Structure 1
Amino acid sequence: MSSKLFRSARYLFEGTRFPNLSRFARKNQKFEAALSALSPARGRARVDQAIVGNVNRIAAEGDYALLTTLLDALRPFLNPDQSPDARDFWDALVADCRAIAEDRLLSGEMNSLWGVTPIVNLSSGVAADRALGVNARSLVFTTYHTSSNFDFVCSEIQARLVAERGEDWFLFRWLMLIWAIANFDFFHLYNDRGIIEPAGGYGSPRFGIAVREMEIYRQAGKRLYTYAYGADHRTREKNLALGKWNFCSECPDPGVYCVCDDAGGAAMLQVIREYSTAVVAHGLAMKLIPGARNVPYLTVDVKKVSPGPSRSQRGGKLVVGHFPNHGYFKGTKYLQGAVDALQAEGHAVELLQLSGRPHNEILAAMQTIDVLVDQLISGSFGLTAVEAMASGCPVICYLHDGVAVAEREACPVIEANPDTIKQVLHQLISDRTRLSEAGAAGPQYVRKNYSVEALGKHLADLYLATADLPKSLKTRIAESARSLNS
């Protein structure tokens, strides 16, 4: 507590939350001139307004004119590797952000940022953090047509910057890193990339959080948690070794979609592991990422899901749903072949296949089908399967032996692979009792293992074990976790 009081007194004396950056301004005429151009304020508080206040506005409002002004004024300092002045600027900024982070934690405040890969599950991580009382936000620079439910979306301002000012978008990312380390202390990123571009370059030319970014997180006292979504860790030989059916067995173009290269992928994951507070994985990724902690982060907000009627109550043909983004990674051709064969034999079965559709359309389609076939070759289920189970829709999926899904023995997934899918569907056409049982078990299984509340408890355990929190904050996080009803 004495260190906190000392820093508070120092800030009162300095008149700014960024005393090191203020001292840098007094010694560097270029930076002093930049501050004068960016803020009409007088005194040392202008650092707060000129730098952090302005980047906060850009993040919140997407003010393009302000962005270009800031880029032009701070251009000599934004990339820490471009000059000694730029390194000195970042050293001062990082030192101030480290002190600010320590103050926040001592005051009981936790701010987390989830990004930047624009997948649906990002919002669930934010919700789980918020359930613990964490001030959590999400940041993305691109969006897919399947989802755009994020807190800070920089796709439009970045696209305009690329069109009008070319490679200035790289400097824009450095500005956003300033915003991030000034406002957040816990970073949840997928292995493929972070805020700074270009990504990779240390094992993979396309995948990997920029090393300089991870160094800055460490120097600024940030906690970095890294996650896996698929392409960002999947290597070919490791997957092929899993058995006859695996994610790579049907890949049409090795090296295009995923990390793929085993030696390069291992090197990339090793570097990320060295900088991470903890490496997080789940399901099949636990077999592929050394040293990972198993956290079920395929999360659904069960409060927003209403289970549909029992599938055994539906008459008529068996409607099979299948919603892949890339059919060759899901065994789609084997499912289509099984359905075609059953139809040729006179069985009442229909395949509803949707690809690349908005997330809300997929959720709506789940209410119209009798069973979802998630995948038949990759060996674990994804978020679509979890959403289906939460809604009471039975799921068919191929699971590798020993795959680290939650409570494997209680998992209601109906297992099948390309060799057995026709037989499994035939049995379900003849007797829908198994569908009814799997559908009924799904919501409770998800509530217990893959809900926002369940993830909140896992995140609490993760923070308590790895984040080196002040004692009072540990107590609060533990109490928040106990209050969650999953």
Structure 2
Amino acid sequence: MFDALARRARAATERRIAKGEVRTLWASTPILTLPILARCDRLLGLQSSSLVFNTYYITRSFDINLILLEGAFRLTRSRWCLSVFRRLVFAWALLRFDVFHYFYDRGLMLSEGRYGINSEEVDLLRKSGKRLYTYAYGADVRTRETTLGLGQPNLCQECPQPGKYCICSEELLQSSLKPLAKGATAQLAMGDMLAYVPGCRDMHYWPIDATKLAAPPVAFRSGETLKVAHAPNHGHFKGTRLLINAIERLASEGEKIELVSVQGVSNSKVIGLFGASHIVADQFVAGFHGYTALEAMALGRPVLCFMRNDQMMIDPATCPIINTRPEKIYDVLKQCLRGEIDLDRAGQAGRRYVEQHYSPEAVAARLGQLYLDTANLPADLNAKLRARVTDLMKGRAEAAPAQI
């Protein structure tokens, strides 16, 4: 059945491409950026949708949200029924879309293990002439051996239960990556995730629309109470205890400082918390910033984060993140309290940084170049893509404010 479907799906893709049409699908890990990435593709003139089967508390705003159907099949407690449902969704997508974007942990069909895209799915995408791009978000590729080899600090040192939060095992990771060696058009990663995917393409793929967020000045003066925002999903991986220790030490010395922390809340509440604070503490163990750091910078808030090296930054020369090793959190916060760091200047620099490098237009330009380099599209389609990438890059250059 699937062989006949693959032939029909290949023919459908060939017809669309011959007409100058390309349809892309971003699925199915319910990450906040998924619908924004689909929007990036639309900026390139492609037809694109995001699809999920379930959602986190952060957001439910996806183009195709199958949570109710997924929930109904899960209520049957039959893996066979759920598997049939997922295969039907995959068959529909195979006929409808030409380019598939997955994270390493799952596709549309049920995974064969805890992490990984179903190998049969990868094979069918290849047979159907689809382009498959895979991306890392962290836990889907992070192994203990490689993480410990990064040096100190690292996430595995702080992990309370190895095997629970990440793929952990090198053997499991290689099993997950093996089908992609021939099946993926390109494998991508960024920041600390580059270490786990050998031969991957280094590309920052977290878009944020700063135009939807206000960035008022940081109204803090020495002698006032410094409000430090922190929004960890797993505190042990963010260095939360280290931040708390530093703030409690400063408070015991009579310093006016307040930690405002939330977790397990919607993204809109996190945004509100950041906007009402003077500074945002991101993470101090991984060696790379999280998406919350981009949100904070888009709000014009200075960010404290440990950055392991220059490879963690898209532009080390202009990155305004205040690089803070775990043992320096106390010292850096004290500098902020004394007014030795211009928080407003750092915050506004952060806003410029995300506008320049992480706007939907900036990420769209990078995706366009990715397609030009790897998708093997016809010359006329490539010419249109190249023109669109040029326009997007030109628009970014014209919109970029002068550095102060």
TM, length-normalised to structure 2 = 0.94
Matches within 5 A, 1:292-371: 292-312=200-220, 316-371=224-279
- Counterparts of 2:251 and 2:185, CA distance in 1: 53
Measure how far apart 1:121 and its partner are.
1.2
1:145 alignment partner, one of 54, 57, 69: 57
| 1:188 maps onto 2:188 in alignment | no
Aligned residue in 1 for 2:317: 409
8 A Cα contact 2:220 2:226, kept in partner: no
Counterpart of 1:172 in structure 2 is: 85
2:342 counterpart SS class:
helix
Is 1:288 equivalent to 2:196 in the alignment? yes
> What letter matches 1:127 in structure 2?
R
CA deviation profile, 1:403-439 (whole Å, cap 9, x unmatched): 3320022110001122110010001000154312210
Alignment correspondent of 2:70: 158
Q: Among the aligned pairs, what percent are the same residue?
A: 38
Q: How much does 1:237 deviate?
A: 1.2
Q: CA deviation at 1:272?
A: 2.3
Q: Which amino acid aligns with 2:86?
A: R
Alignment partner of 1:97 is 2:24: no
Match of 1:73 in 2: none
- Between Structure 1 and Structure 2, whose CA radius of gyration is higher? 1
1:247 aligns with 2:160: no
1:238-274 Cα deviation digits (max 9, x unpaired): 1111111012110000011101012331342233233
Which residue of 341, 347, 361 maps to 1:453?
361
State the 1:164 CA deviation: 4.0
Counterpart residue number, 1:384: 292
Looking at structure 2, the residues matched to 392 and 209 of structure 1 have their Cα atoms a distance apart, in angstroms, of 38
Q: Deviations over 1:283-331 (max 9, x none)?
A: 1111221111111112101221221223446972110010000000000
Letter in 1 for 2:124: I
Unaligned ranges ≥5, structure 2? 397-404
Equivalence for 2:115: 207
Choose the corresponding residue for 2:373, options 465, 468, 485.
Answer: 465
SS of the aligned residue for 2:228 comes to strand
Indicate conservation of the 8 Å contact 1:114/1:125, yes or no: yes
- Please give the secondary structure, in 2, of the residue aligned with 1:230: coil
Cα deviations by residue, 1:218-250 (Å, 9 ceiling, x for unpaired): 000000000000110000111111111012110
In the aligned structure 1, how far is the partner of 2:23 from the partner of 2:311? 33
Question: Corresponding residue for 1:20?
Answer: none
Does residue 479 (structure 1) correspond to residue 397 (structure 2)? The answer is no
Aligned partners of 1:358 and 1:462: how far apart in 2? 32
Paired with 1:287 and 1:402, the residues of 2 have a C-alpha distance of 14
Counterpart AA for 2:313: V
1:437-483 Cα shifts (integer Å, max 9, x gaps):
21010111111111111100000100000000011110111111122
How much has 1:279 moved relative to structure 2? 0.4
Task: Flag the 1:173–1:336 CA change in 2: closer, same or farther, 3 A.
Answer: same
Give the equivalent residue in structure 2 for 1:230: 138
Q: Deviations over 1:4-43 (max 9, x none)?
A: xxxxxxxxxxxxxxxxxxxxxxxxxxxxxxxxxxxxxxxx
Q: Could you tell me the TM-score, scaled by structure 1's length? A: 0.79
- Residue by residue over 1:146-203, the C-alpha shift from the partner in whole angstroms, topping out at 9 and shown as x without a partner, is 1111011111112112224733111000100111011100000000010111x14xxx
Equivalent-residue separation in structure 2 for 1:271 and 1:250 (angstroms): 31
Output aligned runs, 1:71-150, within 5 Å: 89-150=1-62
| Contact 1:287 1:403 survives alignment (8 Å) | no
SS in 2 for 1:420: helix
Residue identity in the other structure for 1:325? N
The one-letter code of the counterpart of 2:109 is I
Q: Matched residues in 2 for 1:311 and 1:270: separation? A: 52
1:75 corresponds to which residue? none
Task: From the superposition, tell whether residues 194 and 475 of structure 1 become closer, same or farther in structure 2 (CA, over 3 Å).
Answer: same
CA contact (8 A) 1:312 1:432 kept: no
Letter in 2 for 1:300: I
Distance 1:314 1:106 in 2: 64
Deviates more, 1:188-197 or 1:161-170: 161-170
